[in-house]
Amino acid sequence: MPSDTKIKILVSDDDLTARILMKETLASDSLEILEAVNGKQAIEQFEKHNPALLLLDVSMPEMNGFEVCEYIRAHKNGKHIPIIMVTGSDDLESIHKSYAVGATDFIAKPIKWPILGERVKYILRASQAFSDLVTQQQELHQLAFYDTLTGLPNRQNLMQDLQRFLAMAKRNDYQAAMLYIDLDRFKRINDTMGHSYGDKLLRKVALRLQANLRDSDMFARTGLSAEPQATQLSSFGGDEFTIFLSRLNNANEAMLVAERVIRSFSTPFQLEQFEVVITPSIGISVFPSDGENAETLLKNADTAMYFAKDSGRCCYRFYQDSMNSKAAARLQLEQDLRKALENNEVIPFYQPQVCALTGRILGVEALARWHKPQGQPIFPDEFIPIAEETGMIINLGQQILYHACQQAKIWQDSGHPIRVAVNVSGHQFKQPDFPEVVQKVLKECQLQASLLELELTESVIMSDAEENIARLKELKALGITLAVDDFGTGYSSLSYLKKFPIDILKIDRSFMCDINSPPDDIAIVEAILALASSLNLGVIAEGIEYSGQITTLQNTKNLLLQGYLFSRPVAAEYISPLLQQNFTHLMPQ
């Protein structure tokens, strides 16, 4: 067996005969016996070889066995190493002193050599068992108190430390702060690039946050660096992190940290061949004004973070008492929406789409509307974002799709086969079985597929172009119409756009202009119209509020007009009378 794989035992005795007998007694293929002739040499051998067990004679020159044992126990590598003291047979004082300085066991002289060999083997086995147990415990502690992905302290770790930090802050009458960080739109990274890239990004974010706090000169300016463990960066799993500042002179110091974190995210993250830009939203709560215990401080920082997101993302917000009432109202709205979906309270209203050539309604757009049983309406801007965040948008979207197809069938049977357009969220579109869901709804409603139009935003279809082309082809194979909603507000690669099996471009209302608008605005609309013409696509112009806006759209083939000029979104029963009307009198002459 090579010597570097053997277990090393150090024998320290100034008696040569004793050392020779010990070596012969302990000799084996698995052990390597090291020797020392005095206490000083024993320490040198220990520091050089880090043996697994030591046999120390009590009486040695330069340093005796007690002094050597005491030195080793104080050494960083000597805390748990077994040490056997060799003492006089009737020397009880030496035996007591051996244990007092940290000896593991003792052997009395004269030594019974066979017993020595067995005792050494037993102690080595016990030491190995203890070492395995420690290799804890360390692993369990790591799993319990550290995030497995980033290696940062986790929530449980933070909550333990917070109790101590806050007690210290209260005792010394200084402020502390909690920064709650959430990565904006992180889900799109997982959705478009895959979870492996998402994990890589989280690890890089953790490293950048660590480097940012470690290298910051701000702590020296504010005096934070004078305190041990002045900051603690933690991972709460997923895309959430916290920074706890344990000593502040004033709340502005927390603001400086938040601003520095936001600036540090301005540099893109390199994920293999990709450069990814992501931004943080940060909520800040301050001890003791925003909470005197760990749970309250953390909850209020979390609440403030959501208000940072609502304020446009990539910013920070300090907690305010009014936020809790707003957060409670939002939670109540979420619960009400869940019940509303269970009770079919969210229904489609319909806005006509008028043919620019004939003045007749050729289609309608189904728009989700929610009226509570008490009668008060909840606006889409209030409940759609909640549905998106909570995942309820999938159920909501399916309900609107089903109701719209049912209604389209009713109109078809009454002699008015008009096409109904239904908006599809990114969450819905990404569902693997979405084409099957659409097919099932068409079948259950017995609706002709050509009377259903699905509208997807430009940003959704471009999120993963190659995969989405295949998904769109599946939908197109059903016989339905596909439209790109809000066209011009996102970013489309023209090389991809021509590959998409789409039928219609829907010009966003923000581009609607008239002959008196600036030339640049008119040029944008004309460019979109020319693109639609070259790709042989139909056009729907939404946001038409007065006839002058139609002027810039004239001479456009396959043009439908949608807006308040013709009708607001209304319940289904109000659409039927409109189907009899002709709207040419509203067109520019």
Task: Establish if 399 belongs to a structural domain.
Answer: yes
Indicate if 267 and 118 belong to the same structural domain: no
Task: Establish if 327 belongs to a structural domain.
Answer: no
Q: Render 161-218 in DSSP notation, one character per residue.
A: HHHHHHHHHHHHT-EEEEEEEEETTTHHHHHHH-HHHHHHHHHHHHHHHHHHHHH-SH
Task: Establish if 299 belongs to a structural domain.
Answer: yes
**Edge-to-edge strand list for the sheet holding 53-57:** 31-36, 7-12, 53-57, 83-88, 105-109
Indicate if 423 and 482 belong to the same structural domain: yes
Q: What is the DSSP letter of 278?
A: -
Q: What is the pLDDT of residue 138?
A: 67
Task: Establish if 335 belongs to a structural domain.
Answer: no
Q: What is the pLDDT of residue 79?
A: 82
Indicate if 279 and 356 belong to the same structural domain: no
CATH number (domain holding residue 100): 3.40.50.2300
Give the domain-ending residue among 135, 160, 191. 135
Boundaries of domain holding 569: 342-586
Task: Establish if 332 belongs to a structural domain.
Answer: no
CA proximity to 56, closest of 12, 92, 16, 19: 12
Q: What angle do CA 334, 340, 343 make, to 5 degrees?
A: 150
Indicate if 303 and 364 belong to the same structural domain: no
Name the more confident of 375 and 367: 367
CATH number (domain holding residue 567): 3.20.20.450
Indicate if 363 and 464 belong to the same structural domain: yes
Q: What is the pLDDT of residue 29?
A: 77
Distance CA 201, CA 219 (A): 27
Give the domain-ending residue among 114, 135, 156. 135
* Cβ neighbours, 10 Å, residue 103: 23
Q: What is the token pair recorded at 5?
A: 């794989």
| pLDDT of 217 higher than 60 | no
CATH number (domain holding residue 219): 3.30.70.270
Indicate if 233 and 374 belong to the same structural domain: no
C-alpha distances in Å from residue 506, one per residue of 54, 334, 512, 525: 83, 31, 11, 11
Task: Establish if 140 belongs to a structural domain.
Answer: no
Alpha helix positions (H), 78-184 = 92-100, 113-134, 138-145, 155-172
CA proximity to 451, closest of 460, 461, 442: 442
Q: What is the pLDDT of residue 374?
A: 76
The helix (H) or strand (E) run that includes residue 405 is: helix 392-413
Q: Respond yes or no on whether the N-terminal peptide bond of residue 110 is cis (omega within 30° of 0).
A: yes
CA proximity to 298, closest of 163, 123, 397, 196: 163
Identify the residue whose tokens are 């030496």.
94
Q: What is the token pair recorded at 395?
A: 């159920």
Indicate if 378 and 470 belong to the same structural domain: yes
Indicate if 117 and 209 belong to the same structural domain: no
Indicate if 554 and 530 belong to the same structural domain: yes
C-alpha distances in Å from residue 585, one per residue of 351, 416, 558: 19, 21, 19
Taking only the tens place, the pLDDT of each residue in 76-119 is 888 888 998 888 756 778 778 888 888 888 888 788 787 788 88
CA proximity to 460, closest of 487, 433, 499, 432: 487
Residues 6+ apart with CB under 8 A from 168: 246
Taking only the tens place, the pLDDT of each residue in 33-68 is 899 999 999 999 999 998 989 999 988 888 898 999
CA proximity to 515, closest of 549, 559, 542: 549
Give the domain-ending residue among 271, 288, 319. 319
Q: What is the token pair recorded at 186?
A: 């992180």
CA proximity to 149, closest of 210, 214, 235: 235
Task: Establish if 70 belongs to a structural domain.
Answer: yes
Indicate if 475 and 544 belong to the same structural domain: yes
What mean pLDDT is predicted for residues 386-390?
A: 89
Query: pLDDT band at 236, cuts 50/70/90?
Result: confident
Task: Establish if 336 belongs to a structural domain.
Answer: no
> What is the count of structural domains for the chain?
3
Taking only the tens place, the pLDDT of each residue in 493-534 is 666 778 889 999 998 888 887 767 878 778 888 888 888 888
Indicate if 235 and 254 belong to the same structural domain: yes
Taking only the tens place, the pLDDT of each residue in 239-281 is 999 999 988 888 888 999 999 999 999 999 998 888 889 999 9
